[in-house]
């Protein structure tokens, strides 16, 4: 007697398909991968430098840097003790899963505990492109102003962790933390949030504890 | 005797064609139009507020604000005394000539001396799209760091004026002004540059003098 078999499959676009394949590769290697996003100059590279300084003796860490031009960020990550790969996007305002796939092929993933992907400095485009990372992390910067969740909602809706950087400058700025946090909570009620200063190190213990736990769980 | 007539015509893409048409409309109305570009939070809206405060009794000023969401910027410009039009780009990371054309149709251009177009907060995408403005103006912000000309060269290559904002924070930052200016000079040797603080008003006289001269020439 013939049996009816239903195959229900979610159809992915090409980028999401490659993102899934990247994720499978990262899972197999057991390397926690974080996708770091922010405006230009919010402190992505500074966060990477200070994080490397704290964790490089304890974990093997690789960094993949996405920029439209130059290798400044990968040079800084390498100087801070990471194995670093630079992606130049040739003008594109975000990384995509295919760019990450090509960069992953440059690394022996099994050698690493943590892979930090520094996305292109942009508060719009990266939100639309999954790359296959385990955690999407956004850095806000206090000098940018407290209205950014309201003006860039897509970015704030699609992340797992929010770092609020440059809190050492708060006393000099008209940054209303309650207004900012209210905007964040509307968009992403359960977002894990760490106020930090990459300059002074304030708030880093909580961020590093979260990261170490995530590395161990990967 | 037949005469050969050669018609040599530059072929424009659709955006550039509409940008030319916008420019013709703005020229005809005699309204100086500036296209203000910067990263999120570099101070575009604050610059507009302080500029309006200084010039609103002397000139008729309109503001067109481009954002992916919200009307926060247009509300601020209107509160500061301008006729304000908000464009929501629906996710797009830059204004284009067609969006400006639609916004221009909301204004009686002959009534105004100055039109300020605030582009979407982004240091990559707006550089690729002419909108028809007379002057392209970039705002850099000192907390973003001194490496931005090296990392975002296309933006620094395609502007007429550079404002370096938040100079009141310089003493607290590791911002090397010589390194920054060296990067700017490589990309754009004759760029008119004004260091300013939208917070304290420092440097505004020079910027306003430049702008007033440009308004009178339009």
Residue with tokens 């490397």: A52
Residue B8 belongs to a domain: no
Calculate the alpha carbon distances from B90 to A153, B18, B44 in Å: 12, 20, 20
pLDDT tens, residue by residue, B130-149? 999 999 999 999 999 999 99
pLDDT at B4 over 90: no
Q: What is the pLDDT of residue B10?
A: 63
Residue ranges with strand state E in chain A: 32-38, 61-67, 83-88, 114-118, 135-141, 161-165, 192-195
What percent of the residues of chain B are helix, what percent strand, and what percent coil, each to the nearest 5? 45, 20, 40
**Closest of A133, A128, A101, A130 to residue A117, by C-alpha:** A133
* Contacts with B169 (C-beta within 8 Å, 6 or more apart), sequence order: A143, A169, A172, B142, B143
| Cβ-defined contact of A69 to B125 (cutoff 8 Å) | no
CB contact under 8 Å between A143 and B70, yes or no, is no
Contact (CB, 8 A) for B196 and B166:
no
Helix or strand holding residue B47 (H, E): helix B44-55
Nearest chain A Cα to B128, which residue? A91
Average pLDDT, chain B: 95
Tell me the β-bridge partners of A162. Answer: A138, A193
Query: Number of structural domains, chain A?
Result: 1
Is the Cβ–Cβ distance between B117 and B36 less than 8 Å?
Answer: yes
pLDDT exceeds cutoff 80 at B158:
yes
A69 falls within a domain: yes
Residue B178, domain extent: 14-217
- Residue A8 counted as domain residue: no
Q: In chain B, whose CA is at the least distance from the CA of A69?
A: B151
Angstroms from A129 CA to nearest CA on chain B: 13
Residue A178 domain flag: yes
Q: Looking at CA atoms only, how far is residue B38 from chain A in angstroms?
A: 10
* Substitution target from A39, A40, A86 for chain B, most B beta carbons within 10 A: A40
Is B168 among the domain residues? yes
Contact A151 B123 (CB under 8 A): no
Q: Do the Cβ atoms of A125 and B93 come within 8 Å?
A: yes
Partners of residue B166 in chain A, C-beta under 8 Å: 143
List the single residue in B with minimal CA-CA distance to A199: B173
Classify residue A44: in a domain, yes or no: yes
Report how far residue B185's alpha carbon sits from residue B180's, in angstroms, rounded to the nearest whole number.
9
Average pLDDT over residues B41-61: 98
What are the tokens at A156? 């704030």
Determine which helix (DSSP H) or strand (DSSP E) holds B194, and give its type and residue range.
Answer: strand B192-195
pLDDT value at B1 more than 60: no
Query: For residue A49, what is the domain's CATH number?
Result: 3.40.50.300
User: Could you say which of A93, A121, A153 has the minimum Cβ distance to residue B93?
Assistant: A93
Examine residue A7 and state whether it is found in any structural domain, yes or no.
Answer: no
pLDDT of residue A12: 72
Exposure string for B63-83, b = 16+ CB within 10 A, e = fewer: bbbbbbebbbbbebbbebebb
Could you state, in chain order, the average pLDDT of each consecutive group of 10 residues for chain A (218 residues)? 61 89 98 98 98 98 95 95 95 96 97 98 96 98 97 95 98 96 96 97 98 96
In a domain, B4, yes or no: no
| Per-residue confidence (pLDDT) for residue B33, from 0 to 100 | 98
């Amino acid at each position: 007697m013939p049996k009816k078999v239903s195959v229900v499959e979610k159809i992915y676009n090409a980028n999401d398909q490659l993102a899934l394949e990247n994720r499978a590769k990262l899972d197999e290697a057991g390397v926690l991968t974080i996708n770091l996003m922010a405006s230009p100059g919010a402190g992505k590279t500074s966060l990477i430098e200070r994080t490397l300084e704290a964790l490089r003796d304890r974990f093997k860490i690789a960094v993949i840097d996405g920029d439209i031009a130059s290798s400044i960020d990968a040079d800084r990550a390498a100087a801070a003790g990471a194995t670093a790969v630079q992606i130049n996007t040739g003008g594109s305002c975000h990384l995509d899963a295919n760019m990450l796939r090509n960069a992953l092929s440059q690394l022996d993933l099994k050698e690493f505990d943590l892979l930090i992907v520094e996305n292109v400095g942009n508060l719009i485009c990266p939100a639309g492109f999954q790359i296959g990372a385990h955690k999407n992390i956004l850095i806000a910067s206090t000098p940018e102003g407290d209205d950014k969740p309201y003006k860039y909602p897509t970015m704030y809706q699609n992340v797992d962790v929010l770092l609020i950087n440059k809190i050492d400058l708060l006393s000099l700025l008209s940054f209303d933390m309650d207004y900012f946090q209210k905007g964040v909570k509307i968009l992403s009620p359960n977002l894990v949030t760490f106020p930090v200063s990459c300059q002074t190190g304030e708030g880093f213990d909580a961020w590093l504890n979260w990261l170490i736990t995530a590395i161990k769980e990967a």
